[in-house]
Structure 1
Amino acid sequence: MKIRCISCGRDRKGNELFCECGSPFEIIPDFKYYDDINRNFPYIKRFISLGEVETPVIKKHNFSMKLDYFSPTFSYKDRGSRTLISYVNDLKINEINEDSSGNAGASIAGYGAAAGIKVKIFVPENASAAKLSQIMSYGAQVIKIKGSRDDVQRAAQASDGFYASHILRPEFRDGIRTLAYEIFNQGMPDHIYVPVSAGTLLLGLYSGLKHLYESSEIKTMPKIIGVQPENISPVCSRLNNIKYDPDNNLTSIADALVSKRPVLIERMLEALYKCISVSEDEIKIARDELAASGIYVEYSSATVYAAYKKVRLDNSMLILTGNGLKNQ
């Protein structure tokens, strides 16, 4: 495995969060893909498991949907948490901090509990009550922080304990490679729609697809279509040359997609084929239509269906990331 800076390419020396140039790191598999998925993560000595399964795919007439909320804490974030917490556990660390608007916090708390690690989750004051309840159910301490999402991150980073950031720790992003491997085993589409916020899902998926391509397992790379709510769309705005104010006071019903200044935006732009923004009304309608078909997702997941309705590309897969009960 290579662990290097996303900006200058320097190798990581230990467990540092940032390179000397100030940028975070990325993990790059430099070996051929293994059918035994766990073998593709040689830096993990022992995986902490909550009984993960290959998440199902539902095929429609012109597209398919991967129900990635069929995960132990009911969101795709479990792919990253499983790897990051396993790595932290191998280091014999017994206390961690994380900042999250909800799903990542719940996932880190769940896997932390399985590993016997003390977990503190720093959250915005307006975090979802349902998600906070889930986090606390795992025994994690929840600490509400006034101010911006950046203020929440600074508080978590400054607190005692190991800062287990799902955004900045490369092991979390790297764990999401498993999504690409599962899609490969289930039938690779030409286009993949994903919700985009801080970039963990997008970049983890892209890394896994690239690994498969460089291992000659697939002949072409699927094109990734990112989706953001119109109110909070820094990535779509950059890619589509649309003016965007990161200091706006707008919020979104898609509360898992609230990153206004994503640290990894340059890498995200490289990974995307298109980026589609959707309105609040389009998100609500998409969620209702999915529910009417028996598929119950949170609003942030429904964004991909809203985007597909606007731009229908052939042989597409929509990644549905979070269970609808998280919005109760």
Structure 2
Amino acid sequence: MRVICTRCGKEREGMEVTCNRCGGPFKLDIDLPFSKEIRLNFPYIKDWVSLGEWNSPMIKGDLFYKLDFMNPTGSYKDRGSTTMISYLKQSGIKEIAEDSSGNAGASVAAYGAAAGMKVSIFVPSTARGNKVRQIQAYGASIVKVEGNRDDVSRAARESGLYHASHILQPHFRDGIRSLAYEIVRDLGWRKPEEVYVPVSAGTLLLGMYEGFRHMANEGVIKEIPKIVAVQTEQVSPLCAKINHVNYNPPEKLTSIADALVSTNPTLLPEMLNAIKDGECVTVSDQEILEAWKILARKGLLVEYSSATTLAGHMKNKGSNNAVLVLTGSGLKTLS
């Protein structure tokens, strides 16, 4: 399996994080037969660093709910972390830097610890709360950086440590293919009509899209299901492009969906390509809160950012044959 630049097609030469020619992100070129033994679809991993991730439950109620918040660290990010950390370990990487004060930082810290790596997580100087404490619990060093999200990313990139970015590392995004495989498997190897996902930096959308595309190319499903991306009114750069509206992000984000913060995502061109046959819907804080309460009354305690999928489905008057991906545990946000 080749690793190629998504923008100019240049093949990755070694362990560089972005393309040396154009600066674009890399992705894996999925050109292998599909296997119903899901881990066999990742043949480049020889020895998994695993905490028991994947195979999250999918339950049927009024809709299908994929409970990805039940991964080991409480979020879907574990799908990417197990794959990226396994690949980095077998490549000889022992010290890594990641920039995230949220679920990605916690996940990379956990899997890095399991791999015996020294992990430094770069976070904004204002970062607080349960997710930061979760990162510290795994033994990772917290490095606080003054400035905005770009400043934090730059500090990690220039730290001298290998930049294990959950946004830029292709093997992180590639691990999320597993989610698409499980959704189709859980439906008896049939595709759903719609899949609703919260979208911020784009790793979930892009990884899941590649999984569906792989199965469609291999004849497992006839076509890629309709993917509905859900964003907040405050953070909606993808929806703005898809729906041809102006977008001016606020100077300070105050949305309750505090895991959805990428106002200028690096992977926006790739997201636009993935969602071209789908939809993008924006939801308000009030709509998110209403959806969160409905999910909680069903026994599903999720982050507000995860509840955006139900909010989007209700606003969109979506199909009954829809899968809602619930991405992060509500236990992380309770004080």
Shared fold, TM over 0.5: yes
Matching residue's letter, 1:292:
R
Structure 1, unmatched stretches of 5+, are none
Q: Which residue of 2 aligns with 1:284?
A: 289
Residue 234 in 1 paired to residue 237 in 2? Answer: yes
Q: Which residue of 2 aligns with 1:179?
A: 179
The separation in 2 between residues aligned to 1:126 and 1:269, in whole angstroms, is 31
The separation in 1 between residues aligned to 2:186 and 2:72, in whole angstroms, is 20
8 A Cα contact 1:278 1:307, kept in partner: yes
- How do residues 269-280 of structure 1 correspond to structure 2 at under 5 angstroms? 269-272=272-275, 273-280=278-285
Q: Which residue among 215, 218, 222 is the counterpart of 1:215?
A: 218
Matching residue's letter, 1:143:
V
Q: Which residue of 2 aligns with 1:6?
A: 6
Q: What secondary structure does 1:26 align onto? A: strand
8 A Cα contact 2:76 2:328, kept in partner: yes
Q: Which residue among 190, 195, 200 is the counterpart of 2:198?
A: 195
The separation in 1 between residues aligned to 2:254 and 2:5, in whole angstroms, is 32
- How do residues 25-40 of structure 1 correspond to structure 2 at under 5 angstroms? 25-40=26-41
- How do residues 1-328 of structure 1 correspond to structure 2 at under 5 angstroms? 1-19=1-19, 20-61=21-62, 63-187=63-187, 188-246=191-249, 248-272=251-275, 273-314=278-319, 315-328=321-334
8 A Cα contact 2:54 2:79, kept in partner: no
8 A Cα contact 1:213 1:220, kept in partner: yes
Cα offsets for 1:235-258 (capped at 9, x unmatched): 111111111124633332111110
8 A Cα contact 1:101 1:256, kept in partner: no
8 A Cα contact 1:65 1:320, kept in partner: yes
The separation in 2 between residues aligned to 1:28 and 1:312, in whole angstroms, is 35
The aligned length equals 327
Q: What secondary structure does 1:277 align onto? A: strand
The separation in 2 between residues aligned to 1:247 and 1:253, in whole angstroms, is 14
Cα offsets for 1:84-103 (capped at 9, x unmatched): 00011001211100001310
Q: What secondary structure does 1:4 align onto? A: strand
TM-score by length of 2: 0.95
Q: In structure 2, do the counterparts of structure 1 residues 131 and 311 end up closer, same or farther at CA, with 3 Å as the change threshold?
A: same
Matching residue's letter, 2:176:
I
| 1:21, distance to aligned residue in structure 2 (A) | 0.8
Q: In structure 2, do the counterparts of structure 1 residues 98 and 216 end up closer, same or farther at CA, with 3 Å as the change threshold?
A: same
| 1:128, distance to aligned residue in structure 2 (A) | 4.4
63-72 or 238-247, which moves further after superposition? 238-247
8 A Cα contact 2:101 2:121, kept in partner: no
Cα offsets for 1:64-110 (capped at 9, x unmatched): 11000110101000000000000110012111000013100000000
| 1:53, distance to aligned residue in structure 2 (A) | 4.4
8 A Cα contact 1:101 1:255, kept in partner: no
| 1:2, distance to aligned residue in structure 2 (A) | 2.3
| 1:9, distance to aligned residue in structure 2 (A) | 1.0
The separation in 1 between residues aligned to 2:162 and 2:252, in whole angstroms, is 31
How much identity, in percent, do the aligned residues show? Answer: 53
Name the Cα RMSD after superposition.
1.1
TM-score by length of 1: 0.97
| 1:313, distance to aligned residue in structure 2 (A) | 2.1
Q: What secondary structure does 2:269 align onto? A: helix
Cα offsets for 1:276-324 (capped at 9, x unmatched): 1111111112111211221100011011111111012221110000000
| 1:125, distance to aligned residue in structure 2 (A) | 2.9
8 A Cα contact 1:5 1:11, kept in partner: yes
Q: What secondary structure does 1:193 align onto? A: strand
45-54 or 230-239, which moves further after superposition? 45-54
Moved over 6 A (4+): none
The separation in 1 between residues aligned to 2:36 and 2:57, in whole angstroms, is 18
Structure 2, unmatched stretches of 5+, are none
Matching residue's letter, 2:258:
D
8 A Cα contact 1:50 1:72, kept in partner: yes
| 1:11, distance to aligned residue in structure 2 (A) | 1.1
The separation in 1 between residues aligned to 2:122 and 2:251, in whole angstroms, is 23
